[in-house]
Structure 1
Amino acid sequence: MVHHHTDLMSLMLQGCDDYWAWNKKDKSHEVKLTGTRQQTAHFHPKWSNGTAGVRGTRCLNYGTHYWEVRVSQRLFGTSMMFGVGTKHARLHVDAFVNLVGEDEQSWGISHKGTAWHNGKGRNFTKPFHENEATTVGILFDWSKGTLSYFKDGEPLGVAFSGLNRVNQELYPIVCSTAAKTEMTLGRRRRMYHNLQDRCRAAIVSKLKEEKQIDSLPLPNRMRTFLKDTLR
């Protein structure tokens, strides 16, 4: 347990803030995105007759990433899930299922404390208290191939390993079976890829909004490079 906490601490101290969001082009029709830069996913706005998911915009491969998902007090139902998946992982099904981890395309844990991959579930942690706001932290470490979880700041340990052997792009993914449930992205951090990336993070951290990049006296290619971190 301890070393996951150490990994997270080093990411907090040495990494940089990340700015990805939920992907408005890559979601179930039963997910409505709201809030600043699509950071809140609202599942089944009217009623629910199935399972709805959404992918994040950040490709996780080759890096170390940490992100938090804040679940509103409406935490209940068959399955609310948090994990990672490829572009082939389904984001909607007209049935109440554990969608993240239903096949070999995704890996996730549910609020019932079960870890799912390839259609198989196993007990991973204690079930979350229902109808209680909860923050789920997810740490993806490509070099170790691990996906670790935290609940309200407490480490739950490694749920999956061997993810660095996956030869497709992996993205954050969440899903819910329950009506009018909400998940909001909280803190997002990642490790620098190289010195150029570190310089970019220093510049972006000083800017209030994306359009300020356009006024910087830089070549277009450098402007594009700066904007890439905000997607």
Structure 2
Amino acid sequence: MGLSLSGWLGGIPAKMKKDAPSSSSFLPLSIPTSSRLSLLLNSSPVDPGDPRCRWSPTHCSPHFLLSQCGEEVTRAPTQQISDGARGEKGERGGMHVWEVLWCPTHRGSHAVIGVSTEHCPLQTSGYTALMGGDSQSWGWELTNNQLWHAGQALGRYTGERGVQAEEQSVSPPHPVPERVLLVLDADTGALGYVVDDCFLGMAFKDLPQGVELFPAISSVRGGAFIRLCYLNGATREPPALMALCGLSIHVSMGKERETQTDRLPLPPPLQRYILPSM
């Protein structure tokens, strides 16, 4: 059966592999993911009722209006103020992935996605990158790709690898689409992002370990609408061999064959095991 399965998978055309969109400007910037992160990105999301899918009603600027479900915030039109919001639940350990949906036309300047401790301020006067504006927060400004921490601009996150810094400074920033995945490795103290199915590497390292870190955003645009969804998480234990085998099959099949597991030369129970996490 093993040889038969290998032959079936090996016959899939390269163009049908589960890759990032070829038209994405982020594709040249992507780096390989660890097996731990790959499993999270290819697993079914947690129940939508999970509290990690909600913005906090208390850790939130009064200018952000929460939806009834708590998964969405909308910034009220306000002049000369920067406002922030945090997730209802943070994490102290493990690897975790959140999805943030933020329409590019509703961002304005200083639209930032990142993480913070519970001590980061959630409002300040003037227009600024609030997340990353102090030592208790780390953020990626979507409009110019700038990374921020402790009030310092640390350079572009998506700079072309192998390109000199002076060349990057004059090149236009990469346009960030609506969907951004926030990847927090609380075990190693690192934060990164996934855009267009491209993992761009860890943007920040040396985050405090053992401290509760929350997904966080900041905005200055009236009407900005931001949705939060917790996708999945994992402990630092090595992934199970069965899960790694399932991941290998998923990647080999590609999105175009997600519903064709019945063609695999596998017993029905194994076909059902593969299908739910596609």
Deviations 1:120-175 (A, max 9, x none): 11211263538xx5111111112232101112322222100112x44532111111
Aligned-partner Cα distance in 2 for 1:72–1:16: 21
Is 1:55 equivalent to 2:80 in the alignment?
Answer: no
Is 1:99 equivalent to 2:142 in the alignment?
Answer: no
Aligned-partner Cα distance in 1 for 2:196–2:220: 22
CA contact (8 A) 1:15 1:192 kept: no
CA contact (8 A) 1:77 1:178 kept: yes
Deviations 1:33-81 (A, max 9, x none): 115x2111111x2344311111101221112110010012434422111
Q: CA deviation at 1:30?
A: 0.7
Match of 2:71 in 1: 39
Match of 1:142 in 2: 186
Deviations 1:83-125 (A, max 9, x none): 1111110111121001111111001101120111111112112
Aligned-partner Cα distance in 1 for 2:202–2:88: 23
One-letter amino acid of the counterpart of residue 25, structure 1: T
Query: Helix, strand or coil: the match of 1:103?
Result: coil
- Give 5+ residue unaligned stretches, structure 2: 1-29, 160-172, 238-278
Q: Which has the larger radius of gyration?
A: 2
Aligned-partner Cα distance in 2 for 1:30–1:102: 19
- Runs of 4 or more above 4 Å deviation: 13-16
Match of 1:229 in 2: none
CA contact (8 A) 2:92 2:209 kept: no
Cα separation, partners in 2 of 1:128 and 1:187, compared to 1, 3 Å: farther
Choose the corresponding residue for 1:22, options 55, 65, 69. 55
Query: Helix, strand or coil: the match of 1:8?
Result: helix
CA contact (8 A) 1:134 1:152 kept: no
Cα separation, partners in 2 of 1:90 and 1:128, compared to 1, 3 Å: farther
Which aligned pairs between 1:184-199 and structure 2 lie closer than 5 A?
184-191=227-234
Is 1:179 equivalent to 2:228 in the alignment?
Answer: no
Choose the corresponding residue for 1:152, options 172, 196, 205. 196
- Give 5+ residue unaligned stretches, structure 1: 195-231
Greater per-residue strand proportion: 1
Q: TM-score, normalised by structure 1?
A: 0.73
Q: CA deviation at 1:4?
A: 2.9
Match of 2:100 in 1: 69
Query: Helix, strand or coil: the match of 1:38?
Result: coil
Cα separation, partners in 2 of 1:16 and 1:150, compared to 1, 3 Å: closer
CA contact (8 A) 2:31 2:200 kept: no
One-letter amino acid of the counterpart of residue 4, structure 1: T
Cα separation, partners in 2 of 1:125 and 1:12, compared to 1, 3 Å: closer
Which aligned pairs between 1:2-21 and structure 2 lie closer than 5 A?
2-4=31-33, 6-13=35-42, 17=46, 19=50, 20=52, 21=54
Q: TM-score, normalised by structure 2?
A: 0.61
Aligned-partner Cα distance in 1 for 2:73–2:235: 27
Cα separation, partners in 2 of 1:25 and 1:79, compared to 1, 3 Å: same
Q: Which 10-residue stretch deviates more, 173-182 or 67-76?
A: 67-76
Cα separation, partners in 2 of 1:128 and 1:71, compared to 1, 3 Å: farther
In the alignment of these two chains, the number of paired residues is 189
Aligned-partner Cα distance in 1 for 2:236–2:175: 38
One-letter amino acid of the counterpart of residue 56, structure 2: N
Aligned-partner Cα distance in 2 for 1:2–1:63: 21
CA contact (8 A) 1:71 1:135 kept: yes
Is 1:129 equivalent to 2:160 in the alignment?
Answer: no
